[in-house]
Structure 1
Amino acid sequence: MTRVELDTPHGPARAELHCAEEGRAALLLGHGAGGGVAAPDLVAVTRAATDAGVHVALVEQPYRVAGRKATAPARQLDAAWLAVAEDLGERWFADLPLLFGGRSSGARVACRTAEAGAAAAVLCLAFPLHPPGKPEKSRLGELDAVEPPVLVVQGERDAFGKPEPAHRREVVLVAGDHSLKADVDAVSRAAQEWLTRVLRLLD
């Protein structure tokens, strides 16, 4: 595992790089609004991805690196993410397809930036479809706008809602809530199976 610091328009970001033996793609994973890259689902997916032959970069947004607890505005998150993706793509993962992903807020960033960052696929862990108790404030448009293949892994009791499957979008429901802590093995299995299929598409 290697840690690197990366410049962005909104201050330095950090990435924790986990390399597969023979990486055929690279998956960038972002954290949730109030948590970091040590979240159990992110750790489980990192292991699953490297086992499947995919390098992983766990990306810490600049506000986290700076020690701030309040999340940055969406446009800052997106700009920092794209800067990190460009840097990693040039310096560490040259000539490899980039996959975007993350949990909760990080999943939203991955969806919003997929087109601009030329992501080959998007992996969403606990996508927050709407604020708890406010289904009318839907963020489904962010998911619907993603063109490449998408996997959403969602807790069956997630108070942030559950997206429906759609064209090129798979949804896997696992036990538990928004934290995805109840069955991390199921999260890992879903991610590994999907990544294996995505790699076949990319070959």
Structure 2
Amino acid sequence: MSILYANAENPCCTLILAHGAGAPMDSEFMETIVQNLLALDISVVRFEFPYMALCRLDAIRRPPNKMAVLQDTWREVYNQVRAQSTLPIVIAGKSMGGRVASMLVDELQPLALICLGYPFYPAKKLDKPRTEHLLDLRTPTLIVQGERDALGCREVVEGYRLSSAIEIEWMALADHDLKPLQRSGCTQAQYLQHAACRIKDFVVRQLR
């Protein structure tokens, strides 16, 4: 299994970060958010699901593994990090990685859950929400979501009933990758920095 460790100088926690369905653990998005988190004293562990690890080996694009495999991979990585770290653990994911983590978070019992661009519904399928397990979520959860996210726009998501443990940080005029329209006056880099700051604030609150 591909696992990548990045240690902050004076870490307050270890954050395990899973990639989304279409990009690896070292994509530009992942690299940028990791560097921002390290600067805020959050150590980060990244890993790749089996299908993405195979893609890295032979450059053949594959669909994600079945959900049972994705979940078992998350459990394996969490248990490995838990056995090695004395710090509080936060689990997190970009899109699909966050969705899988959200299905396991109450079982694994980390300090908190962070989702970056949660896929509330499949593209163009608003009638098939992926929210049933979010109704009774108990673990403190922060979702950083673009208002224009094609998998969970603000207009639709604000109509859902979600657990009171979930907070949503809306990024104005941003898409699924937290990239805003030019008229927002902000850049994706600025939004990812803001997302990291919001994550740090959220984690500090849970540590208290």
Please tell me the TM-score bracket, short chain as reference: 0.7 to 0.9
Residue of structure 2 in register with 1:130 after alignment: 121
Report the AA paired with residue 171 of structure 1. I
Number of aligned pairs? 189
Give the SS at the match of 1:33. coil
Paired residue for 2:83, among 90, 94, 110?
90
Measured in 2, the distance between the counterparts of 1:127 and 1:201 equals 21
The residue number in structure 1 matching 2:11 is 23
Greater shift after overlay, 146-155 or 163-172? 163-172
Structure of greater Rg: 2
Identity, % of aligned positions: 29
Rounded Cα–Cα distance in structure 1 between residues aligned with 2:36 and 2:26? 15
The separation in 1 between residues aligned to 2:51 and 2:87, in whole angstroms, is: 28
Question: Where do residues 91-170 of structure 1 align in structure 2 (5 Å cutoff)?
Answer: 91=84, 93=85, 95-162=86-153, 163-164=157-158, 167-170=164-167
Superposition TM-score, scaled by structure 1 size: 0.84
Of the three residues 172, 177, 182, the one matched with 2:175 is: 177
The match for 1:189 among 165, 187, 194 is 194
One-letter amino acid of the structure 1 residue matched with residue 178 of structure 2: L
CA shift, 1:16, in A, is 1.3
Which aligned pairs between 1:24-39 and structure 2 lie closer than 5 A? Answer: 24-39=12-27
Cα displacement (A) at 1:133: 1.9
The TM-score, its normalising length taken from structure 2, stands at 0.82
Cα RMSD of the aligned pairs, angstroms, is: 1.9
Paired AA for residue 201 in structure 2: T
Query: Structure 2: how far apart are the matches of 1:161 and 1:196?
Result: 24
Gaps of 5+ in 2: 56-60, 181-187
